[in-house]
A and B are shown apart, each in its own frame.
Chain A
Amino acid sequence: MSKIIPVLTVLVALIVIWYAAAVKMNSTWTYDQAERAGSEVTFSELITDTMSQKRPLLPAPHQIVAELWDTTIEKKITSKRSMVYQGSITLKTTLLGFGFGIVIGIALATVIVLSRIGRLTLMPWAIISQTIPIVALAPIIVVLSNAVGTGTLMVPKAIIAAYLSFYPVLVSMVKGLQSPDQMQLDLLKTYGASQSEVFWKLRLPSSMPYFFASLKVSVAAAFVGAVVAELSTSAIAGLGARMLIGSQFGEPMIMWAALFAAAILAAILIFLVGGFEKLARNLMGGRAV
């Protein structure tokens, strides 16, 4: 309970500020309308009007909640306007990209840790890869994957998500696979262990705490990648696409609802990864640090 109070305090403060900002920002339109009609606006009229406009500059929190409710619970899941439908597309992209990201990250880290040549050649490129803005790369990835005939937009979107999500896994796994100290390596040497035994019995299990720490960052990166991919590949479905549509067609409610849906989905993903981490930690001795 004592943990929840500070969080709630901040939340309440944010909502109050938000309502105040909504009144202020939407009041221009209210005053314009009143002037055109030649009427005066009382304070209470101002408040009610700024909070119930159809296309407000800044929708009030309860309007966003209502829109979210309408587009997730009330709408049929098969409807193009359902956030559940749009969210599921983004989720699919995220999970595909996340999966590829994990595989690529672990594979590269293994090569880097086990071979000196790998370390010298791969690591600089992995770092460089993250300095290129993904928005600039996205169209190229779409064109190229179209050229090799993947047919659907899912492949390039997943590639973009993987491109962002492999890096945290790579960096953590390189550190994790190198975490056993000299004494532990010497111990295995006295048993005459082969390099692959050192890897499977010592390096890989030692790296797990690092791996799980990276997963939380990586799943968030994959999600951002998926949304950015939808924004920058002129996709027509997915939460990113909904945001773009909302902004282009002057429908702020769609934009805001998609934004909140995205935030909620990301929170769920991180929560799930956290649960998975706890489960793995229990399986590995309960207090493996």
Chain B
Amino acid sequence: MKKPVIDAQNVDLTFQTNDGPVHALKDVNLQINKGDFVSFIGPSGCGKTTFLRCIAGLETPTGGSLTVNGLTPEEARKSRSYGYVFQAAGLYPWRTIAGNIKLPLEIMDFPKAEMDKRVEKVLDLVDLKGFGRKYPWQLSGGMQQRASIARALAFDAEILLMDEPFGALDEIVRDKLNEELLKLWAATDKTIGFVTHSIPEAVYLSTKIVVMSPRPGRITDVIESPLPKERPLDIRDTPEFIEIAHRVRDGLRAGHDV
């Protein structure tokens, strides 16, 4: 059996706040294999974002063990193992789209010619060819988010962590981007961790759905999706899809009864 890319064993995280300790994550166990598309779904406060941030080394668990490619999250970050996409595109308004995508490459000291090549490549991947010279304000919200995904892809990290990347977009744009994200995933074979609070989005995208619930944040169900890798948008009307969606909903409801 191959080793998981991300391996969480009994991960615990308690924040010390002015109102006393907050138990953000309790006893989280999860293995993510290479090439998995894993969604984290749950109500706000269930720790899904916190767990993603732990994987990224932006938060440090207070208990348990968490490894990324066999390294600590901190070491994995330094070896550029992952790209992170936030809910807001967060593009720099003073840089062009190409300039924004170059940002991580500049920090990681890529040679100039290599930078231009990579910018072209990822712009093509996210379907933004020819928009390199535009400034962020000249692009729609959906295009900006695509540019921010391109920025996360630019340095070719194996793992892509996405924290509600399409949460601020409308349904139609979201559908389109979901479809594109699946294509991109198929084309690049990345391991993706995806936080969402939309059940259809989670079921449509994932090979593995992690259902979480709050107080304390914990995993209540892990669903391996039987859906094929090839997924047209209308797969959402098939009985298999609806069955999984149902199970996710049940999991979420069960968590709420506490």
**Interface residues, chain A, CB within 8 Å of chain B?**
183-184, 186-193, 197, 201-202, 205, 208, 284-289
Number of residues of chain B lying within 8 A (CB) of chain A = 27
Residue of B at shortest CB range from A288? B93
B107 touches A191 (CB 8 A): yes
In the complex, 11 of the A-B residue pairs with CB atoms within 8 angstroms, ordered by the A residue number, are A183-B88, A183-B90, A189-B58, A190-B82, A191-B103, A191-B104, A191-B155, A193-B107, A197-B107, A201-B103, A289-B93
Quick one: CB contact mask for B215-256 with A, threshold 8 Å, 1 for yes? 000000000000000000000000000000000000000000
**Interface residues, chain B, CB within 8 Å of chain A?**
56-58, 77-78, 80, 82-84, 86-88, 90, 92-96, 103-104, 106-108, 135-137, 155
CB-CB under 8 A for A190 and B107, given A287-B135, A289-B93: no
* Residue from the list A188, A192, A202 in contact with B80, Cβ < 8 A: A192
What number of residue pairs across chains A and B have CB atoms under 8 A from each other?
58
Q: How far is the CA of A189 from the CA of B155 in the complex (A)?
A: 15
B78 touches A192 (CB 8 A): yes
* Residue from the list B87, B90, B95 in contact with A184, Cβ < 8 A: B90
Q: A190-B56, A205-B94, A285-B93 are in contact. List 12 more A-B contacts (CB 8 A).
A: A183-B86, A183-B90, A186-B84, A187-B84, A190-B84, A192-B108, A193-B107, A201-B103, A201-B106, A285-B95, A286-B137, A288-B93
A285 touches B56 (CB 8 A): no
Give the shortest distance, in Å, between A215 (CB) and chain B (any CB). Answer: 17
Contacts of A187 in B (CB 8 A): 84, 86, 90
Q: How far is the CA of A286 from the CA of B137 in the complex (A)?
A: 9
Contacts of B84 in A (CB 8 A): 186-187, 190
CB-CB under 8 A for A286 and B135, given A191-B108, A192-B80: yes
Give the shortest distance, in Å, between B164 (CB) and chain A (any CB). Answer: 12
* Residue from the list B57, B80, B93, B95 in contact with A287, Cβ < 8 A: B93
Give the shortest distance, in Å, between B85 (CB) and chain A (any CB). Answer: 9
3 closest pairs, A vs B, by CB? A284-B94, A285-B135, A288-B93
Give the shortest distance, in Å, between B8 (CB) and chain A (any CB). Answer: 19
Contacts of A190 in B (CB 8 A): 56-58, 77, 82-84
A205 touches B104 (CB 8 A): no
B94 touches A285 (CB 8 A): yes
Give the shortest distance, in Å, between A94 (CB) and chain B (any CB). Answer: 29
